[in-house]
Every structure is written in C-alpha cells, then in structure tokens.
Structure 1
Amino acid sequence: MISPRALDSPDDSPAPPPPAPPPDSSRGGRLHSLDGLRLVAALMVVAFHFCAFDNWSSHRWGVPTAEVFPTFQPIASYGWLGVELFFLISGFVICMSCWGRSVRDFAASRAIRLYPAYWFSVLFTTAVLFFTRDGNTGFTTARILTNLTMLQEPLGVRNLDPSYWTLWAELRFYLLFAIVCAMGLTYRRVLAFCALWLLVAALAPHCGNALLTSVAMPSATPFFAAGVVMYLMHRFGPTPATWLLLGASWLLAQEQLRPLVASAQGSVKAHLSLPVSLAVVTAFYLIVLGVALKQPRALDRRWLVKAGSLTFPLYLLHEKPGWEAIRLLHNLMAPWVLLGALVPTLLTLSWLVHRFIERPTARVLSRRLRPRAGRHGPSRRDHGPTEPLVAP
C-alpha cells in the first residue's frame, strides 16, 4: 500500500487536480465489486417493500405479507438494512470521485448523475398512478414541480414516492463534503472532517437543536463517514487513525440501530432482532472493508459495472409503480409468479432508463455544466448514491 506521506506533502497542501483517468482505470477493479454490492443493496430494499412491508401498503396483496410469504417475510423484514450498505458505498465513492476535482466539477458530476433518472422517475410514477387510479393520483401540480427539484423535504413538501427520502440525506452529505473539497482534499483534512462529523453526530441528539441534528444526520453519518474512511484506507493504506475512526463509526452505528430497528418493526408489524440487525451491518462493514483493502478476484468482473448501473433507476422506480402492479395483478397470479415477472420487468425498465435517459442526458449536461478544462464526459467513477428505501 502507498503510505499517506508518499501522496501528501509534509504540510498536507493539496496537489493540483490530475488529468482524469481512463474510464476503466479503477484501482484493481475494486469498483466492479462495489457495483455488485450496490445491486445487492437495491434488491434487499425491493424485497423489503414487496415481501415484508406491512403498513398502509398491506392491501396491495389483499392480506398481510406474512401470510403471503410466510417463510420469506421474516428474512425480507431485514431488507431495510440495504440502505446502510448504500450509505457505506456512497461515502467511499463520493470521496473517490471528489478527489482531485474542483467543487464546481464535483457539483456538476453529482447533478449529471442524479437528475436525469430522478426526473424520469417523478414523471413515470405520476403517469402510472394517473392511469391506474383513473386520474386520481393525489398529487397537485405544485407538489410534482417541487419534487422535480429534489428539494421537497427542506421545502416541507411530501415526497411523491416514499423512497425519495434518502436523496435528501445524500444531498446533505454532498454539501458537507463540498466544504472539504473547496479547501482541497488531503488525507489529514478528510480524516479531520470524518472525526468532527462523527463527534457532532454523537452529540447533536442531546443538544435539542433541530437544525444541528438535521445537518449532523446521526442515523446516516456513521455509514457515510465509514465509507469515506475506507476510501482513505484504500488510497493510502490503513493507519491507526483510520482504524480508530472506523471503530468509532461502528460504535455510533450500533447505537443508532436501536431506534431504526424499533421504527422498522412498525413497518413490518413483527419483532425484529437488534443482534441480527447489528450482525448484518457488521457484515456490510467487513465486506466493504475487504473490497477497500484487497479486491477479491472472484468479484473483479466488468459486467458488475453494468449491474451497478441499474441500481439507481431500480431504486427510484420500484416502490409505488411496483405496488400498483401488485395491487392490480395479485388476484390473477400466484405471489411468486407475480414477483418473478415484476422484478425482471423493473430491472429491464431500469436498463432502458440508464441506456436511453441517463447516458444521453449525461452527455448533454456534461457539455453544459462541466468546466471546459474538466470535461471528460460521464465517467464510470461517477457512481450514484444509493439510494435507499422508505423510512422503516
């Protein structure tokens, strides 16, 4: 591994941005593994929503999901933890894609990555509900337009699709990390950022300040910060400081799991085990850490990049449109047959969105938004957030 001193000067001053690497120059193929993990996380969320979520959506199947999937429902009930894996990967990838870039280029890359698929999903979901509910979507024009900005939550407007809630968490992470980016990314500065952010996230819930808690994001920060730290370990090699911060993030994560598990139990109408949830999260830490420190050769496959490209559209499109499909078709076919047709259909739709919406729009937006000196076209380094599941 390369030591931090080999890449950062003694005074830790940032180096000028290097030329963009070729599109497929991921170090040791590690991003291929992360792409595969992103798809696993997305499918966990899909399983949670379709096979375990038993709140106001239970009428989609006509009966509680525990009756529809008596064996699988207890397993799918932990699918909400896929969002924690999303946040871990997001921290890793955002730090990687931001390194050596200006704030303007970083902001442009995020807009290019997020908005095309998101705009399509807002319009597609609205259209699906319009046609399946005889024009009664329950959406006002103002609500639709506000959702198109992706800023509906801070503006006090409800999400058109519950799954959009994590996008606001991602945007807050981007804004905080952009501050470090503006200062110039170095090993010490990013390490200090993670330490300070974890400290504030631990203290914020006890301060009684809603704004501070919103910025600190106690439930998400341990995972974002852990991903960033793992990228530092990947780029510079593990050090006592990075191990210490990674351990601190895990300790804060296990504390934050308590209210998350309690909330998830209300969504699945069943008991969920805190030890099992912690074991799953710990496994996520170990898997991403393993990818960061040494690429498993079995996972070094280029096709995983294609699989990962389906993740963001799948996440955005699966929930309300999928529930509408279940509501309309569950009396016409067996549950597993319906799922066996619905999930591949959503994956196919996700590929179509990536191929014919995201990629062409990204080229246009790249020419408009990127500085001339920094235009490299959409890069495979620009992995999106992950994005996430409905709040349990």
Structure 2
Amino acid sequence: MRRSAAGPEPKTRLRALDGLRLLAALMVAGYHYGGRGGEITEAWGSSAAVQFPTAHVWLAYGCLGVQIFFVISGFVICLSGWGRTPLAFFASRASRLMPAYWAAVVLVTLVFALPMVAYQAVSPSDALLNLTLLQQPLGADRVLGVCWTLWAEVRFYALFALCVVLPGVNRRRVVLFCAVWTLAAALAQASDEPFLDVLLMPQYAPYFIGGIGLYLVHRDRRDALAWGIVGVSWLLGQHHAVAELWRPDSPDAFSYRSSAVIILIVTVGFATVAAVALGALNRIDWPWLTVAGALTYPFYLVHEHLGWVVVGWLHRGLGVPSWATFLLTLAAMLALAWLLHRFVEQRFTPLLRNALTKGL
C-alpha cells in the first residue's frame, strides 16, 4: 500500500463528510418542497413559483444533492471495503441500508392508508415488493419517491463487491476498476443497449468513480493516477448533470436551471469532498456532526412523502405561511429521522449485521 508521509492518515470518522451528507439531503428536501417551480402540488395548493417567487429558482438546484451523495458514497464505500472480506462487506451494507428502509416503507404505507391523508397508496402487492428494494427494475410503484437512488447505490455496491472486494481490495485493483468502469459506461451509453445502461449506469458512474478516486487521494495525495480518476470523473459528471438537469428558460418549464450553475455545484461538490480527502477540513470536527451524519439517511428516506403530508396539514389545514411551513416541515422530518435512528437503526442494525455474518 502506498501512502505519502505528507498525506493524511485514513480516519474511521470524517465529521466534515457527515456535515456534507446532511447538507446534500437538505438540498434535495429543498428541491422537493420548493424547487419545482411549474408544478402545482396538492399540499401547497399552488406551484412553488407562487409560494416562493424568488427562492424557487435556487431551490431547483437542490436535486444536485443526489450527485453529491454519489461522490460521497464512492469515497465511503472504498473506505469501508478496504481490508474487509466479501461477507463482512455485504453484512455491513445490508445492515446499514435495510432497517431504516423497511421502517420507512411501512411508515409511509400506513400513513398513506389513513382516511384523513389525501394521497393514494400503492397496491398491497407493490408495497410488499418495495421491501426487497427491487421494485424499480420490476416496474412496480414506489412507496418512497427517493428509492431510485438506493437502486443506483445497490448496483454500485454489487459492482464494487464483485470486481474489487471479492478478489481482494488493493490500490491497483481499485484503479483498474475505475478505469474499466469509466470506459465501459461510456460504451454502454454509445451502444444504447438498455441492459448495459442499467448495469453500468453511465449517467451516475462518474460520481461514484470520482468518490473512489478521492479516497485514493485521501490515502496518498501524491497519487497521480488517483487525481486523474478524479479529473476525468468530474469532466464526465458535469456533462451528465447538464445533459440531465439543464432546462431552458420558459414560463411553462417544470423548473429552469442554468448550465453554468449546474457545473458550479457539481464542481463544488467534488472540491468539498477533495478538501475532506486532503485533510483541509479536519478542523471541522464538532461532535454534533456525527449526529447529523446519522440522521441523514433516515431523513432522506422519509422527507419527501411524509413531508408533503406535513406541508398540507400546516399550510392548507392551519394556514401557516409558506416559509414557516417549509422550515417546520424540515424540523419535523429531522425529528422523525432521529426517532428512526434511535429506535430502529441503533437497535436493529447490529442485530441484522450479526445475523447475516453468522448465517452466511
């Protein structure tokens, strides 16, 4: 293993990264609640452009929090997979994702089934299928709107486990994985073959690969190949973000986004994770950021659909002003995330991890 004497020693907890994760989740929540300028929602009773005449233009960029999530995920998965057996890697990922996910699926399904909640629930069969995290490839309705990102994460975990963890993690194998996946993803997009698109995720691969490259930089800041991986991934990532999210300035548009601002946000996301990798943000080591990182995943799971229930109750039911509703809804979802972390994740994550380890 190579490591520069001037580089940072790998740490098990990078609190600045925890803070960035929560910030990315709040960006996505801001997009959902107030960034869809041209869409009339039942909860608000009008469009975000009416509720937030100025802010909705900027909240529309909050969806880029997902791309930042993927960069962080690449960094963290490479960190957590280094030195682990395939069994330990699988048990770690499954126990991290599933308890809060199962709880969120059940909770949203139950809330949507209440007579006073005016949202249509998915069918019982689709709700049960959602517990597998395979609802999207099987074409079923989703209980959680954000679960499409989990499907992307699961495919990334599978590729990394099969190609890197299973044969044994080392720098050379990680570099080769990044190079091959980058080229294969580009070829998949050029081939226009649906299976390859699903498998190799050309529109999301650069963010995961960029995060992996940044972890290699964290291990050795003088690693030229790692910096090359990061640079190519950034170039590809900004291209895919603009291609997917840029919208022309039109009064009928769902939301308007400037290509320059999209490129800037993607760049800032890569640069911030790079700053963490290089140790430039080590002074941001406040203990409460660990709590923020712990709340991010359950908050991300429940904020959209249950958030709309809270928005409708506060704004249309009680007449609370728009910005107060926005902030109170964020606070309510963070409180719910704490409950899920405290009573679901902290209790069942170790149990599931131990059960998987023993069972396999």
TM-score normalized by structure 2?
0.92
Distance in 2, Cα, partners of 1:141 & 1:135? 17
Provide the secondary structure at the position in 1 that maps to 2:303.
helix
* Structure 1 residue corresponding to 2:306, chosen from 321, 326, 335: 321
Give yes or no for the alignment of 1:310 onto 2:310: no
Partner of 1:159: 142
Residues 224 and 268 (structure 1 numbering): CA distance in 2 closer, same or farther, change over 3 Å?
A: farther
Instruction: Please list, as runs of the form range in 1=range in 2, the aligned pairs for 1:243-254 lying within 5 A after superposition.
Output: 243-254=227-238
Partner of 2:200: 216
C-alpha RMSD of the superposition? 2.4
Residues 211 and 300 (structure 1 numbering): CA distance in 2 closer, same or farther, change over 3 Å?
A: same
Partner of 1:335: 322
Distance in 2, Cα, partners of 1:119 & 1:52? 28
Distance in 2, Cα, partners of 1:291 & 1:58? 38
Question: What letter corresponds to residue 164 of structure 1 in structure 2?
Answer: C
Question: What letter corresponds to residue 154 of structure 1 in structure 2?
Answer: P
Partner of 2:276: 291
Distance in 2, Cα, partners of 1:223 & 1:280? 13
* Structure 2 residue corresponding to 1:242, chosen from 202, 206, 226: 226
Residues 181 and 297 (structure 1 numbering): CA distance in 2 closer, same or farther, change over 3 Å?
A: closer
- Number of aligned positions between the proteins: 353
Distance in 2, Cα, partners of 1:258 & 1:300? 34
Question: What letter corresponds to residue 327 of structure 1 in structure 2?
Answer: G
Whether the aligned pair in 2 keeps the contact of 1:52 and 1:268 (CA below 8 Å) is no
Whether the aligned pair in 1 keeps the contact of 2:68 and 2:269 (CA below 8 Å) is yes
Distance in 1, Cα, partners of 2:35 & 2:352? 39
Distance in 2, Cα, partners of 1:348 & 1:134? 20
Mark the runs of 5 or more structure 2 residues left unpaired by the alignment. none
Cα distance, 1:4 vs structure 2: 4.9
Partner of 2:30: 47
Partner of 2:332: 345
Whether the aligned pair in 2 keeps the contact of 1:32 and 1:299 (CA below 8 Å) is yes
Partner of 1:278: 263
Cα distance, 1:322 vs structure 2: 0.8
Percentage identity across paired residues of the two chains: 40
Distance in 1, Cα, partners of 2:63 & 2:276? 22
Distance in 2, Cα, partners of 1:274 & 1:319? 26
Larger RCO (CA under 8 A, 6+ residues apart): 1
Instruction: Please list, as runs of the form range in 1=range in 2, the aligned pairs for 1:1-392 lying within 5 A after superposition.
Output: 3-4=2-3, 27=10, 31-54=14-37, 58-131=41-114, 133=116, 137-179=120-162, 180-262=164-246, 269-331=254-316, 332-371=319-358
Whether the aligned pair in 1 keeps the contact of 2:60 and 2:256 (CA below 8 Å) is no
Cα distance, 1:138 vs structure 2: 3.3
Cα distance, 1:233 vs structure 2: 1.1
Moved over 4 A (4+): 54-57, 132-136, 263-268
Cα distance, 1:248 vs structure 2: 0.9
Distance in 2, Cα, partners of 1:188 & 1:313? 35
Question: What letter corresponds to residue 300 of structure 1 in structure 2?
Answer: D
Distance in 1, Cα, partners of 2:253 & 2:293? 28
Stretch moving more, 132-141 or 314-323: 132-141
Question: What letter corresponds to residue 167 of structure 1 in structure 2?
Answer: L
Cα distance, 1:73 vs structure 2: 0.9
Cα distance, 1:139 vs structure 2: 1.6
Cα distance, 1:134 vs structure 2: 5.9
Cα distance, 1:162 vs structure 2: 1.4
Distance in 2, Cα, partners of 1:134 & 1:199? 47
Cα distance, 1:53 vs structure 2: 2.1
Cα distance, 1:3 vs structure 2: 3.1
Distance in 2, Cα, partners of 1:192 & 1:312? 30
Whether the aligned pair in 1 keeps the contact of 2:247 and 2:257 (CA below 8 Å) is no
Whether the aligned pair in 2 keeps the contact of 1:47 and 1:79 (CA below 8 Å) is yes
Stretch moving more, 267-276 or 141-150: 267-276
Cα distance, 1:71 vs structure 2: 2.0
Whether the aligned pair in 1 keeps the contact of 2:102 and 2:131 (CA below 8 Å) is yes
